[in-house]
Amino acid sequence: MVYNNPDGIIAATVIVQFLVIGIVCLRILSRRKQEKKRLISDWLILAATLMSMGLAIAQIYGAANGPLGLLLAPRLKADPSHAADMVQLLREYNFSFIVIGIAAIGLIKISVSLLYLQIFSTRNFRPYIIGWTVIMVIWTIGFLLTFLSLCGSHGTLASYKFTNAKTVDKFCGTERVKQMDFALVVSGSITDLITVMLPIPMTWSLQLSLRRKISIIGIFLVGMLSVGASVARTYISLDSKFGKGTPMDQGLGVTATCLWTLIEIQLGILAACSLTIRPILHEIAAHGPIHSLLTSTRSLLSGRGSQADTGASSFTELADGNSFRRRSESRSRNGSAKSGIDRYNDPLPKKNGVIHVSTDFRVDTRDA
């Protein structure tokens, strides 16, 4: 991916963020359609969405006005004093994305775990899901407090004030920062993977057809997109700190970290909401504009086919007068017979204890 392309960063951020807002709205509408109240998992996703919106705005602003998407090395040579301000701004961006990213990603994992608890609320699975939810709460709070208090006795929020390189070395310790960053990105990728894979053995043990199991597992595996973004962020972070090759420009390194952090959050929200929007998607497919378009297209194509068949049949009947006469006589003899539409509209036979399901999924109970 090219990180020194501010216009591309802005376009990608705007597009994906609108997708996030759209799918969260679908989740809310789906809850309303089912006449269900919003659960804790829904509120956690809404909180994570607000955080992603804040980071998206910051990223767009940073790409439009600097320092994101800009090479730092040439500016250090051309104007060291101005580049120093840019370094400070990059550190502040990096720290802000890390802290808010921990909170947002943690909320997404907790929300998904609570959703699993609603889906697999059985005696066999419930203890494992509750245990994993507790682990995710501890992971989120633990790393959040650690990075907020990274500079020790200088206060809970001191780490934001001590973003200058010399101050960080003196009060926070460069090695300590590296160790905590390593623990964050590696544990983040591992917990992302476990969160996605957790429901697969549970789904496989259900009494469902193989096709149905694969379909449900496929929905859960949408979360692998977020895992991929987490792995990419882990690779960039580890390569910048422990890589032996040519290091990435500091400006582009911070840009890559911010970009992949936001992508992980956005894809995590998309994956979490994909588990809940099936009812509203079914409604849109059945009665929305897409359904109307497909119905109109199908009617148009079938109408053309019927006209062609009618024209060919009429030409043959005109050529063969006997055939035309026989069909007319047959229609006259069966004039009292009901048409196909009349037969279709006839009420269903009434039988005791029989439940008739119509094509629009309404259920009728008919008594004699």
- What is the CATH classification number for the domain harbouring 219? 1.20.1070
Asked if residue 365 is part of any domain, the answer here is no
In this predicted structure, what is the pLDDT of residue 365?
Answer: 35
- In sequence order, the β-bridge partners of residue 355 are 365
Are the C-beta atoms of residues 68 and 55 closer than 8 Å to each other? Answer: no
Is residue 69 one of the residues assigned to a domain?
yes
Question: For residue 37, is it within any domain?
Answer: yes
CA distance 92 to 33: 43
Contact between 196 and 231 under an 8 Å Cβ cutoff? The reply is: no
Tokens of 339: 């048409």
Residue 364 falls inside a structural domain: no
pLDDT tens-digit readout, 170-199: 666 667 777 888 889 999 999 999 999 998
Query: Does residue 186 belong to any structural domain of this protein?
Result: yes
Structural domain that includes position 188: 6-284
What are the tens digits of pLDDT across the range 16-28?
Answer: 999 999 999 988 8
Decide if 112 is inside a domain: yes
Is residue 35 included in any domain, yes or no?
yes
Give the model's pLDDT for residue 91. 82
Give the pLDDT of residue 51. Answer: 96
Residues of the chain with pLDDT under 70: 1, 152-174, 241-246, 279, 282-368
Output the six-digit token pair for 280: 């509203």
* Virtual torsion, Cα 109, 114, 116, 121, nearest 10 deg: 160
Domain count, the chain: 1
Report the DSSP beta bridge partners of residue 357: 363
> What is d(CA 214, CA 224) in angstroms, rounded to the nearest whole number?
15
Residue 359 domain-assigned? no
Burial profile 61-75: b = 16 or more Cβ within 10 angstroms, e = fewer:
ebbeebbbbbebeeb
For residue 340, what pLDDT is reported?
35
Entry pTM = 0.73
Contacts for 74-78 with beta carbons within 8 Å, 24 or more apart? none
Do residues 59 and 80 touch, judged by C-beta distance below 8 A? no
Residues 6+ apart with CB under 8 A from 32: none
